[in-house]
């Protein structure tokens, strides 16, 4: 009798967890690029976790013809094969950060010890300029809660360039020794260590000099190499540098992706999944409002050379095939 009570309680808890995961059960097949056609999505950040890809994106909601970003929340899509996707309820809105006033800009999620940390760029409410916040959840699908109640990085903490939107586009990595690092920046690439709680910087903020650096750093590690890809010039191409150490020196290696169609930004994420490498970016190809403020996420293959360098991405309309 006691045991069955516990079983019932366990089932109820599991059902509750599923409900918390906030799946809206909207599944779709991406028919090539852009992969999402029912809303405008931008600034992709992808995470591979337990045999699934979690794709987090910004959400362009500008009125037709409006030349500026209107972005209030972030989206979350999952897949096990890169072509069949499930859309989940938005796990995070800029309103979650009480100290912020607007602009759900670029972001990235990472897992540590069973918790998920979501680093985001937003407009600060009282310290003029952009800022980086961090939200945390027990599930990659959320709900995510502000992890600090204050910004992790504010504009008054970074002085390498004088404009107020240099603290955007966070990218995060946990190195082999367990040390986490945050990279970010517009106009200059900043990086700093994170404490193991993932919610505080640990030590000084450093800068990295990269040719024609604009924004959108994405840091990843593969086969003994660290890769720092970033938006190059404006309108943006994507370029990259390689290093044997996360602290550099970084060797500039060239362009990976050319201008993305009809969008002056390009914003990449790079992952390996089921034996293939993927380059995830956005363009401005989706009608009716297609353009720099109505962007759409696309996925194409990424190929490495034997020496670890990256081949130029071929952007396609067909996109990728189902991953096996």
Between 83 and 315, name the residue whose CB sits nearer to ligand FUB: 315
Phi, psi of 43 (to 5 degrees): 50, 60
Residue 146 annotated among the catalytic residues of the structure: no
Least distance in angstroms from the C-beta of 24 to ligand FUB? 24
Name which of residues 92 to 151 contact ligand FUB (CB under 6 A).
105-106, 121
Sign of the C-alpha dihedral, residues 20, 31, 296, 61? negative
Binding status of residue 74 toward ligand FUB by CB under 6 A: no
Q: How far apart are CA 132 and CA 168, in angstroms?
A: 7
Q: Name the active-site residue from 96, 103, 215, 236.
A: 215
Residue 215 annotated among the catalytic residues of the structure: yes
Between 137 and 292, name the residue whose CB sits nearer to ligand FUB: 292
Between 21 and 161, name the residue whose CB sits nearer to ligand FUB: 161
- Residue 83 host element (H or E): none
Instruction: Determine which residue in the list 69, 118, 144, 183 makes contact with ligand FUB, applying CB under 6 A.
Output: 69
Q: How far apart are CA 117 and CA 35, in angstroms?
A: 25
Between 83 and 215, name the residue whose CB sits nearer to ligand FUB: 215
Instruction: Determine which residue in the list 96, 123, 215, 300 makes contact with ligand FUB, applying CB under 6 A.
Output: 215
Least distance in angstroms from the C-beta of 192 to ligand FUB? 18
Site string for ligand FUB, 164-183 (x = CB under 6 A): ----xx--------------
Q: How far apart are CA 17 and CA 23, in angstroms?
A: 11
Query: Token digits for 272?
Result: 């390996």
Binding status of residue 269 toward ligand FUB by CB under 6 A: no
Instruction: Determine which residue in the list 33, 41, 229, 265 makes contact with ligand FUB, applying CB under 6 A.
Output: 265
DSSP assignment string, 150-211: S-SB-GGG--SS-STT-S---EEEE-TTS-EEEEE-SSSEEEEEE-TTSSSEEEEEEEE--T
Phi, psi of 8 (to 5 degrees): -60, -45
Least distance in angstroms from the C-beta of 293 to ligand FUB? 9
With a CB cutoff of 8 Å and minimum separation 6, the contacts of 307 are none
Least distance in angstroms from the C-beta of 223 to ligand FUB? 27
Least distance in angstroms from the C-beta of 268 to ligand FUB? 9
Name which of residues 282 to 311 contact ligand FUB (CB under 6 A).
none
Least distance in angstroms from the C-beta of 319 to ligand FUB? 20
- According to DSSP, the residues that pair with 84 across neighbouring strands are 29
**Nearest 5°: CA angle at 236, between 93 and 140?**
30
Query: Token digits for 288?
Result: 């009716």
Q: How far apart are CA 252 and CA 125, in angstroms?
A: 37
Name which of residues 34 to 63 contact ligand FUB (CB under 6 A).
42-43, 58
Q: Which residues are catalytic?
A: 43, 215
Residue ranges in contact with ligand FUB by CB under 6 A: 42-43, 58, 69, 105-106, 121, 168-169, 215-216, 265, 267
């Amino acid at each position: 009798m006691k045991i069955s009570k516990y079983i019932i309680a366990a089932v109820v808890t599991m059902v509750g967890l599923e409900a918390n995961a906030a799946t809206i059960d909207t599944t779709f097949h991406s028919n090539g690029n852009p992969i999402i056609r029912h809303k405008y999505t931008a600034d992709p950040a992808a995470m591979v976790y337990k045999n699934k890809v979690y794709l987090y994106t910004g959400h362009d909601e500008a009125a037709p013809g409006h030349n500026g970003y209107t972005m209030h929340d972030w989206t979350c899509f999952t897949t096990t094969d890169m072509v069949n996707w499930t859309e989940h309820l938005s796990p995070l809105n800029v309103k979650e950060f009480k100290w912020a006033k607007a602009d759900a800009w670029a972001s990235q999620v990472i897992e540590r010890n069973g918790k998920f940390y979501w680093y985001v760029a937003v407009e600060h409410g009282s310290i003029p300029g952009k800022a980086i916040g961090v939200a945390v959840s027990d599930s990659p699908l959320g709900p995510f809660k502000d992890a600090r109640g204050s910004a992790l990085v504010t504009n008054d903490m970074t002085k390498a360039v004088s404009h107020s939107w240099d603290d955007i586009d966070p990218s995060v990595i946990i190195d082999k020794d367990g040390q986490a690092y945050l990279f970010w920046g517009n106009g200059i690439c900043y990086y700093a260590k994170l404490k193991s709680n993932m919610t505080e910087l640990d030590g000084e903020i450093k800068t990295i000099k990269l040719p024609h650096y604009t924004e959108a750093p994405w840091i990843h590690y593969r086969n003994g190499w660290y890769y720092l890809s970033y938006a190059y010039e404006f309108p943006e191409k994507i370029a990259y540098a390689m290093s044997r150490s996360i602290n550099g020196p970084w060797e500039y290696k060239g362009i990976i992706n050319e201008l993305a169609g009809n969008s002056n930004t390009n914003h990449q994420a790079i992952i390996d999944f089921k034996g293939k490498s993927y380059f995830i970016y956005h363009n401005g190809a989706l009608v009716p409002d297609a353009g720099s403020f109505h962007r759409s996420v696309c996925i194409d293959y990424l190929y490495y050379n034997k020496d670890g360098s990256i081949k130029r991405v071929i952007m396609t309309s067909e996109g990728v095939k189902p991953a096996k």
